[in-house]
Structure 1
Amino acid sequence: MAKAELADQSVDLSAPQYYINREVSWLGFNERVLHEALDPRTPLLERLKFLAIYSANLDEFFMVRISGVMEQAEAGVHPETPDKLPPTRQLEIMRSHLLEKVALQHRTFERELRPALSKYGVHLQNYRDLTQEQIFFLRDYFEKRIFPVLTPLSVDPSHPFPRMSNLSLNLAVKVVDPETGIERFARVKVPSSLPRFVGMPEPLRTYQGKPCVWIGVPLEQVVAENLSYLFPGMTITEQSLFRITRDADFPVLEDEADDLLLAIEKEISKRRLEGFVCRVELESTMPDDLKAGLMRELKVSSDRVYEIDGLLNLADLFFFLSMPLPELKDKPWSAVVPPRLKPVLDLEDDGTESYSEHASNFFAALRDSDILVHHPYESFRTSVQEFIAQAANDPKVLAIKITLYRTSGDSPIVKALIAAAANRKQVVALVELKARFDEANNIEWAKKLEDAGVHVVYGIAGLKTHTKTALVVREEGDNIRRYVHIGTGNYNPKTSKLYTDLSLFSCQEELGADLSDLFNFLTGYSRQKAYRKLLVAPLTLRDRMEALIRREIDHAQSGGQGKIVAKMNSLVDGRIIRLLYEASQAGVEIDLVVRGICCLRPGVAGVSDNIRVISVIGQFLEHSRIFYFHNSGQPRYYIGSADWMTRNLDRRVEAIVPIEDPKLIKELQHILDVLQADNRQAWEMAPDGTFTQRRPRKGEEPRGTHATLMAYALKRDAVR
């Protein structure tokens, strides 16, 4: 009897102890982000950046994930998940974890990073520690810039407790009327339209009598110290800062929405004010009676309250990256022009827009062979942007079709699509309005595209279109040729500098035909279910991925080698995890690079002995997806937009593309090798779900993934 069959009889691979709860796993990921802020090897301003990322991540986690678990707990429902952890228990675990880690975060800032900033001439001061001249400046600033936009809202029988917007900073103020002795509660919103940190003008930019780089105070302190302007004649007895987080996960009933764009706009408005309060952050110095009254008015229990020692909303620490102290930041990275495109375009990534004269050469290069680009090491501007912009200006191009999931507010890609429409090309843009927290941005661009004559569609009801694909149709003599871009990242030039992603450019006939079918599926009434090369969710991707894993099991059970290497953002899907366990039992060697959530437990005896999991956290956000299957010595490589999550496999439109060119395969294998050899940014996962960061052994040089790949890109660029 085969090894796998014996194991299957003795081990129930569906047992909950073999699965990690999704929310708990995410907390572990964010803890690894926090560690970058704690690590003294990280440059000082980058440490502040990671504190800010940790806070911003938590905001979204509360708004979407924790709020959802709270609703489940209150409704008494228990959704069936592989780990079978009840919602009430999830909430207990998450709160216990967060009480510890949030306290550590603030302690690190207040006791370590804030004093460290002062050593380099950056002083975030308390208002009352400033000089008299600096206080005079802030009082004048308050009168001219802050006071006109403030609106104190009282709470009494004739003034109900005000509705407060999501993630807003507020002052809870208690005032006493000296004539009547009556106490009143008021709320003052700290204006989000003004900078969070108020710096001194150059003549007052001094600390202890010496010039400094920057000195200033948080905006809320300027408001708090000048409350008498808002309550003249009243005695202010108490004032404390607090911040609320609301549930922001409002599902849109697409089948019932006559106008999806209008429905999404309404959802955005609801998100600000109507979601229930799932978290209250408040200063630990807030008096008990003020805290009790606030909790009563907000209708929250103590398990939703987080008392903070120090500055609230550390996501605003991104501000300090603007300090002119390059020695305290990562060395800036300037992406190189992709080697295959450098001789074609004869340009550097310097912002020069020189599209039309290079268009024929760009497309000729793709006719010669496929091109694989690795961002941010290789330039997004001179590859993806150039591809779309040249297509927009090339008189031989007849049509451009593209999916837009997240893009920047000043997107050159969208501008190129508008230019293409002006050039009388047929342009189709599928704009995903349901990309959470980017809805407003996408609505704005959808309207501009429509106004420019672009055919804008919003995809398929019930599915998010997450695939990153573009199709260019070009007339070449008597023939029509299709050029494609299939990637792992969004068409967003800003995140392309921060996220690691892969782009495939090709004019393979089968890929062009597949993308034509995919766009017809997205924009029309096509029931296309078979594709030539693409693995498309929710149609073929799950079945094909499971078949590829099963094929490795068959090879291992037949006495051959079975091996899988998969890189992704998250691994959550229970069916895929169980299949990986079966593969491990059969002897398949499995290496997983999972940046974020991982619900699989590696290294469990008799279950996952042959599975190893690492996570890489560092200068760039690991976003690319790469899948490798040994296939008995005839390896199969794939890249694309989908993680091994149920939502990606079953509830989103995704595209995974095979990489078949031996030169491109070599590039993918190099990336995987570098990731697995990392001893600086890589974390190894234990069976209990905890992670331990790798460290160089004695005498061993640090091998950080991002530094290694930057050096590799520069070396290739120099050779060319």
Structure 2
Amino acid sequence: MNKEKPPLLNREISWLYFNARVLQEAADQSVPLIERIKFLAIFSSNLDEFYRVRVATLNRLVTVVSKTKDELGFNPKKILNQIKNIVVKQEKKFNLLYEQIIKELAENKIFILNDQQLNVSRGMFVKKHFRDKILPAIVPIIIDDHKPFPELRDRVIYFLVKLSQIDSKKKCKYALIEIPATLERFLILPDTHDLKFIILLDDVIRYCLDEIFFVFDYNRVEAYSLQVTRDAELDLDTNVSDRFIEALSKSLQKRKKGKPMRLLYDSSMPIELLNLVVNKLNLHSESLIPGNKYHNFKDFIAFPSIGSDLLRYKTIVPLPVKELSVNKGMLELIKKKDYLVNLPYQSFDYIIHFLREAAIDPHVTTIHITLYRLAENSRIINALINAARNGKKVVCLVELKARFDEQANIYWTGKLEEEGVNVNYGITGYKVHTKICMVTRTEKGKNTYYANLATGNYNEKTAKLYCDHSLFTAHPGITKDLSKLFRNIENKKISKDYEHLIVSPTETREKLFAFIDREIKNAKAKKNAYMILKMNSLADEKTIKKLYDASNAGVQIKLIIRGMCCLIPSQKGFSENIQVISIIDKFLEHARIWIFGNNGKEEVYLLSADLMTRNLDHRIEVGFPIYDPVIRQEIKEMMEIQLMDNTKAREVNSLNNNKYHKTGVKVPYRTQIDTYNYLKNKIQQN
């Protein structure tokens, strides 16, 4: 037995290597050009959240004197320095990629112009747009040493403006301009000879600075962009009641004024201006990240849809699920067998139709559902409201603490309650992260149950972008466990002893370790022993140590982990039998899947939980077995497709170099294309 300390990669550093894989997609010449811009936007948005949450937490740890390095297992100050070094390098790569993509857009007759590149006619168009649409929303604030420095809001772009007189000793003036987030970020200029022209809102304002500051007697106006990212964690009253909602609403307002975690600034900003902001905001050097002149790059997700269709990914047509027809009664079909919907390759509409049918079926009495993140115009909510209007008892658990979706969930809670839906806020101290729904129907005088259990949220928008699995079943054992779970949640009770489901926080860790121990026992008995596990993140140290034990016993372990992975594979004496890949492509790989060899009696589970401490010990999560042999085989074959990926899969290794995964096969395999074709072929074969 190896008595050395198990090798672990710090979770924050691991996350940065994941975000580097997103940046790789922006650099990949095989990715359509406008999609590459969107990967830059995803990278930027990810980094914003990282600073708001993870870096904020590390900064708190630095200030807590009682938390020593030994207690934490790492030095937070050292990690913060590592984060800055990595992020600065990534920002440089980001800027180079942006400049490269601008050139490639020009080669495709799409030109992103800046404020220095406008001719007379385009300049007149921009000036008119500025006066009509932008100037009324601009409120410059003059910086005065005798007045408090203006409060910089979280993730809002500002211009720090310097007014000066060329060839004069006249004292300079400084001002701040907030770039209104309510305005469109892109202005499409008139075409010329089939050429497309775009200018960013930032450069429209730069071009018209003289119209803002004309009252001052200065002949030079310079503007440099900056953006503050603040601590986003909430300080909440733990009582789940009206007081809780009120506390949450107030905390969301405070979130805009959290402690600054990062100042992203235009690297061409003169040092005197940078020092001005740093001193006013009392920032530390670790918080300063030089960037380019454009911030809030997440807006580029909405880059204008112009130019050739070849510049974007083709939209896939969702495939049908064999034999699951929305034109027939879905409940009658589900009673006879289980059905699996593989999103986004197959349509989320099946879930909508399931709820709509339940809403109007005269024999349906009750609908239970958990909601974590909802779409903006949620058809799920509409179906639930319709059910309540039709006299059904609808019990809806809305997770108010879904990070960055709290405001939307408060809104939907109000809507549901107005329509007579019973809204439950869960159990104090535990986020309800599971994605489950159960319909109760009276048949022959008895209650019959129909369920949907999923790895992803009940969200129509993300269902088109995230790879997830959604199971319809009427299995009596599963629905019995679900009834117990919903009853416990309503009664604010945590319990265990579920026969079929794997439920956090009481059982997931225990049952997972039992599965691993069984594989270890088989390996030691010289039997075939293996695991294939897919998840978003692997960070729980006890689980990692357990996987190391399994590897040392000879269990063959294959992991597919999109995001952070603190386990280090292929380490002598620890993880020689562990292989880890990460797949980043058009869609977000979001599913959680466990496959255990079980000495030839393979078991397959789908889950809502990642292998992180919070998911195992501090959330309500559900894992559910796949009993139908056809569906079990389908999941296994889709996992094998992912393990064969040699196009979009990267190796997670000790070098953290995100090397593309090579399988030794010359034929290109690409998970998301091959999975779609696999499902399409299955339909055509029957």
TM tier, shorter chain?
Answer: over 0.9
Aligned: 1:713 with 2:679: yes
Aligned: 1:369 with 2:337: yes
Aligned to 2:250: 266
Report how far residue 183 of structure 1 moved.
3.3
Aligned to 2:201: 219
Asked whether the equivalents of residues 468 and 590 of structure 2 are also in contact (C-alpha less than 8 Å), the reply is yes
Aligned to 2:326: 345
Q: Give 2:440's match in structure 1, choosing from 473, 488, 499.
A: 473
Equivalent positions of 1:53-64 (< 5 A) are: 53-64=42-53
Alpha-carbon distance in structure 2 between the residues aligned to 1:623 and 1:30: 15
Aligned: 1:308 with 2:255: no
Alpha-carbon distance in structure 2 between the residues aligned to 1:564 and 1:594: 14
Read off the aligned partner of 1:63 and give its amino acid letter: R
Per-residue CA shift, 1:459-516, capped at 9, x if unaligned? 0111000000001001112221000111100000111111110111111111111111
Equivalent positions of 1:440-589 (< 5 A) are: 440-589=407-556
**Structure 1 unaligned blocks of 5 or more:** 1-7, 347-357
**Structure 2 unaligned blocks of 5 or more:** none
**Greater alpha carbon shift after TM alignment, 478-487 vs 167-176:** 167-176
Aligned to 1:353: none
Secondary structure of the residue aligned to 1:444 is helix
Aligned to 1:286: 269
Secondary structure of the residue aligned to 2:317 is coil
Q: TM-score, normalized by length of structure 1? A: 0.92
Per-residue CA shift, 1:313-348, capped at 9, x if unaligned? 32222232622421111221111121131xx334xx
Asked whether the equivalents of residues 20 and 689 of structure 1 are also in contact (C-alpha less than 8 Å), the reply is no
Report how far residue 620 of structure 1 moved.
1.0
| CA separation of 1:256 and 1:501: change in aligned 2, threshold 3 A | closer
Read off the aligned partner of 2:28 and give its amino acid letter: D
Secondary structure of the residue aligned to 1:128 is coil
Read off the aligned partner of 2:643 and give its amino acid letter: Q
Per-residue CA shift, 1:127-186, capped at 9, x if unaligned? 221121111111111111111111111221553211121111111112359999443321
Asked whether the equivalents of residues 19 and 83 of structure 1 are also in contact (C-alpha less than 8 Å), the reply is no
Aligned to 1:354: none
Per-residue CA shift, 1:94-141, capped at 9, x if unaligned? 11111111101111111x100111121211101221121111111111
Alpha-carbon distance in structure 1 between the residues aligned to 2:682 and 2:604: 23
**Greater alpha carbon shift after TM alignment, 278-287 vs 429-438:** 278-287
| CA separation of 1:406 and 1:611: change in aligned 2, threshold 3 A | same
Aligned to 2:191: 205
Asked whether the equivalents of residues 326 and 353 of structure 2 are also in contact (C-alpha less than 8 Å), the reply is no
| CA separation of 1:597 and 1:79: change in aligned 2, threshold 3 A | farther
Alpha-carbon distance in structure 2 between the residues aligned to 1:253 and 1:396: 41
Aligned to 1:245: 229
Q: Give 2:379's match in structure 1, choosing from 412, 416, 423.
A: 412
Aligned to 1:433: 400
Secondary structure of the residue aligned to 1:712 is helix
Name the Cα RMSD after superposition.
Answer: 2.0
Aligned to 2:98: 109
Report how far residue 45 of structure 1 moved.
1.3
Aligned to 1:11: 3
Asked whether the equivalents of residues 517 and 528 of structure 1 are also in contact (C-alpha less than 8 Å), the reply is no
Secondary structure of the residue aligned to 2:554 is coil
Read off the aligned partner of 1:277 and give its amino acid letter: P
Per-residue CA shift, 1:166-217, capped at 9, x if unaligned? 11111111235999944332111011111112222xxx322xxx232x3121
Per-residue CA shift, 1:514-567, capped at 9, x if unaligned? 111111111114453221211100011111111111111111112222211111
Secondary structure of the residue aligned to 2:471 is strand
Asked whether the equivalents of residues 210 and 221 of structure 2 are also in contact (C-alpha less than 8 Å), the reply is no
Q: Give the total of aligned pairs.
A: 683
Alpha-carbon distance in structure 2 between the residues aligned to 1:494 and 1:45: 20
Aligned to 1:51: 40
Asked whether the equivalents of residues 107 and 309 of structure 1 are also in contact (C-alpha less than 8 Å), the reply is no
Asked whether the equivalents of residues 171 and 190 of structure 1 are also in contact (C-alpha less than 8 Å), the reply is yes
Read off the aligned partner of 1:320 and give its amino acid letter: F
Alpha-carbon distance in structure 1 between the residues aligned to 2:663 and 2:309: 27
Read off the aligned partner of 1:594 and give its amino acid letter: I
| CA separation of 1:607 and 1:82: change in aligned 2, threshold 3 A | farther
Report how far residue 237 of structure 1 moved.
4.4
Secondary structure of the residue aligned to 1:693 is coil
Alpha-carbon distance in structure 2 between the residues aligned to 1:525 and 1:714: 44
Asked whether the equivalents of residues 607 and 624 of structure 2 are also in contact (C-alpha less than 8 Å), the reply is yes
Aligned to 2:309: 326
Aligned to 2:115: 127
Report how far residue 688 of structure 1 moved.
4.1
Alpha-carbon distance in structure 2 between the residues aligned to 1:609 and 1:82: 29
Secondary structure of the residue aligned to 2:598 is coil
Secondary structure of the residue aligned to 1:42 is coil
Secondary structure of the residue aligned to 1:555 is helix
Report how far residue 227 of structure 1 moved.
2.3
Asked whether the equivalents of residues 568 and 594 of structure 1 are also in contact (C-alpha less than 8 Å), the reply is yes
Aligned: 1:170 with 2:158: yes
Per-residue CA shift, 1:196-243, capped at 9, x if unaligned? 12222xxx322xxx232x312111222223223332331144321111
Read off the aligned partner of 1:450 and give its amino acid letter: E
Asked whether the equivalents of residues 281 and 308 of structure 1 are also in contact (C-alpha less than 8 Å), the reply is yes
Asked whether the equivalents of residues 464 and 652 of structure 1 are also in contact (C-alpha less than 8 Å), the reply is yes
Equivalent positions of 1:585-624 (< 5 A) are: 585-624=552-591
Asked whether the equivalents of residues 442 and 448 of structure 2 are also in contact (C-alpha less than 8 Å), the reply is yes
Aligned: 1:703 with 2:664: no
**Greater alpha carbon shift after TM alignment, 216-225 vs 479-488:** 216-225
Alpha-carbon distance in structure 2 between the residues aligned to 1:294 and 1:332: 45
| CA separation of 1:461 and 1:79: change in aligned 2, threshold 3 A | farther
Per-residue CA shift, 1:81-100, capped at 9, x if unaligned? 99922101111111111111
| CA separation of 1:571 and 1:79: change in aligned 2, threshold 3 A | farther
Aligned to 2:129: 141
Alpha-carbon distance in structure 1 between the residues aligned to 2:165 and 2:293: 30
Read off the aligned partner of 2:346 and give its amino acid letter: E
Aligned to 2:144: 156
Read off the aligned partner of 2:323 and give its amino acid letter: R
Read off the aligned partner of 1:190 and give its amino acid letter: I
Alpha-carbon distance in structure 1 between the residues aligned to 2:33 and 2:664: 25
Alpha-carbon distance in structure 1 between the residues aligned to 2:271 and 2:657: 37
Q: Give 1:677's match in structure 2, choosing from 637, 644, 656.
A: 644
Per-residue CA shift, 1:330-376, capped at 9, x if unaligned? 221111121131xx334xxxxxxxxxxx3xx2111111111112111
Per-residue CA shift, 1:272-309, capped at 9, x if unaligned? 1x211111111122111111111111211333112223
Read off the aligned partner of 1:45 and give its amino acid letter: I
Secondary structure of the residue aligned to 2:600 is coil
Aligned to 1:295: 278
Read off the aligned partner of 2:88 and give its amino acid letter: L
